[in-house]
Structure 1
C-alpha cells in the first residue's frame, strides 16, 4: 500500500492514478485495477445520494462511505473528502471532523477544498498526524459563489492567486494537490513550481497524476463534464440487464426450474 510519502515521492517521476469510489464493491474493483489513490469524494452527493450539489453532504455521510471503501481496499491509499462547512469555521471542530476520517473511517488522509483560510489549518492537521491533500482551481463547494462550475484561473490575477495558494499549502505540509478545471498551461506552471505532486482533473496532461469521478470513467453518469472521458458504458449495460429482468419476470421465464428448489418432505404438508 502506498503511503503519503510514496505519493509525494512520485512528483515528476511516474504518473499517479486516482479514482473516486463511494461503496465497497466499487472500491474493490478500483483497488484491484492497481489505482494509487481512492478518493471518497463529497461528489457522492451527486453520484450516490441524489443531490444537485455536494453541499448537503455531511461529516457522517463521509464517515459512513469512507468506512465502506476502506473495509474492502487492500492496496490503494484512501483519501476522504471534507464536506462543506466541516472545516474552516472553527479550528477545533475542523480538527475533530478531519480526525474522524482517520479514527472512525480508516482513511489514510483527508482532502480539503482550499483557500487562504486553509493554509494554517493544513499545517495544524499535518502537525497532528492527519495528512492533507489540497484542492485548488474549481472547488465545487463554492458553487453558489461561482453561479455554476466555471473554469478557474483564466486571467493573470486569478492564476497568480492559485499559484500562490498552491505554494502556501505545499509549504504548510500538504502531500499533494488536486487542480480542477484550470487552463493546462497554468497547471503546468504550478506543477513545475511545486515539490509535491499535482493531480489534475480538467487540468491538462502536465500534472503528475490524474483523477476522475468513477461514474464518469465507467460510463454510468447520465452527463459528464467535457474534460472527462468514458472508458466504458456501464449505464447501457445496466439498462439492458434491468430491462431483460423485467421482461423475464413478466413473461414467466424467470425464475426457471434451475432457480428453484423443491423439498420433497413437504409434499404431504397440505
Structure 2
C-alpha cells in the first residue's frame, strides 16, 4: 500500500529557525518549544504546529524498537531516523533539528564524537546532543570549535541509567545540586548553546539557568524556570503505555487531532501554563 498525497508548502511559511533566532527568543524571554520526532510524517505535523525545535531522540530505542532503555540504539539507526525527520522538513519546514549522539558514539573522546556528529549532520541535523558532565566539557569544546552546535544534557541522563540507579530525580541533596551546577557551568563555558535539564528539582534548574544567563536550558521534569520545554511526542499524545512520569501532560485529551494537541502544547509552553509549578515539577525536599 502506498500514499499518493503530495506534500504541500508550509501553510504558515515560517522563517527557518536558526541558532541565532533561538538565542534572540531566549534574550526576549520567549519560551522555546521542543518535541521529539522520529519520522517524516510526525516531523511535518510538529513543524506545521509551530514547534521551534525537534529532537531525534535515542528514546526511539524504547518507543519504536521495544527496548527497555536507550542503550541498544546505534549511530546508524540515529542517522536513519534523522534523515527521515529532515525529509519531513524539506518542503517549507522551519524547525531547528537536533539529533542525539547515542551511547558508544562519543565516549571514546572528541575525535570519535566529531566523526559521529559529522554522520548525523550529514543526515540533516543542525545540532547534536550529548549526555553527562565532567569529561564531556572537553568534547563539547572540541565540537563547537569545529562548527558543530552542541546541546548538552544533565540531570537524569538515560544513557547512564544503570550508574544512576534507575530513573530517579537528580540533585535533590546539596552535594548533588552543586555537582549539577558545576557541570552545567563547565559545559556552558565550553560552548554548549543549549542544555536539556531532565528530572531535577525546580530550584536546581533555575540556578543552572541563572549561573549561565545566555545558555538555553530546556526542561523536562525540571520545572517552569527554564528557557524552554521538551516532551517525548508519544507521551504528550497519550500513546505511551504504562505509568507516565508526573511531568507529562496528555495534550490529546484537550485536542481533537494530533496537530491540535501539538498546537496546544506549543501555546501552553509559550504562555507559561505548562509545566505547572506544582503538578509537573519536583522539589529538593
- Which TM-score bucket, shorter chain as reference? 0.7 to 0.9
Provide structure 1 residue ranges, at least 5 long, that are not aligned to the other structure: 238-270
Larger radius of gyration: 1
Q: Is the 8 A contact 1:7 1:175 kept in 2?
A: no
2:121 maps to 102
1:29 pairs with one of 42, 45, 54: 45
- Whole-angstrom distance in 2 between the partners of 1:6 and 1:85: 32
CA RMSD of aligned residues (A): 1.6
Q: Is the 8 A contact 1:11 1:198 kept in 2?
A: no
Instruction: State the Cα distance separating 1:91 from its structure 2 match.
Output: 2.6
Q: Is the 8 A contact 2:110 2:138 kept in 1?
A: no
- Whole-angstrom distance in 1 between the partners of 2:22 and 2:167: 28
- Whole-angstrom distance in 1 between the partners of 2:21 and 2:175: 33
4+ residue runs of structure 1 moved beyond 2 angstroms?
A: 8-12
TM-score, normalised via structure 1 length: 0.84
2:230 pairs with one of 190, 201, 211: 211
1:257 maps to none
Q: Is the 8 A contact 1:88 1:121 kept in 2?
A: no
Provide structure 2 residue ranges, at least 5 long, that are not aligned to the other structure: 1-15, 258-285
* 233 and 46 in structure 1: CA distance in 2 versus 1, 3 angstrom threshold: farther
**Alpha-carbon deviations, 1:207-232, whole Å to 9, x = none?**
11000000001111113222111111
**Alpha-carbon deviations, 1:90-117, whole Å to 9, x = none?**
33222101111112x1110001102211
1:231 maps to 251
2:26 pairs with one of 11, 20, 26: 11
- Whole-angstrom distance in 2 between the partners of 1:42 and 1:161: 25
Instruction: State the Cα distance separating 1:148 from its structure 2 match.
Output: 1.2
1:259 maps to none
Q: Is the 8 A contact 2:109 2:139 kept in 1?
A: no
Q: How does 1:113-132 map to 2 (within 5 A)?
A: 113-132=131-150
2:241 pairs with one of 207, 217, 222: 222
1:156 pairs with one of 165, 174, 180: 174
Q: Is the 8 A contact 1:22 1:69 kept in 2?
A: yes
1:188 maps to 206
Q: What secondary structure is seen at the aligned counterpart in 2 of 1:153?
A: coil
**Alpha-carbon deviations, 1:24-75, whole Å to 9, x = none?**
1111111110100000000000111111100000000100001000111111
Instruction: State the Cα distance separating 1:233 from its structure 2 match.
Output: 5.5
Q: Is the 8 A contact 2:110 2:143 kept in 1?
A: no
Larger deviation, residues 218-227 vs 205-214: 218-227
- Whole-angstrom distance in 2 between the partners of 1:81 and 1:8: 21
1:84 lines up with 2:117 in the alignment: no
1:243 maps to none
Structure whose residues are more often helix by fraction: 1
2:66 maps to 50
The alignment of Structure 1 onto Structure 2 pairs a total of residues equal to 235
Instruction: State the Cα distance separating 1:153 from its structure 2 match.
Output: 0.5
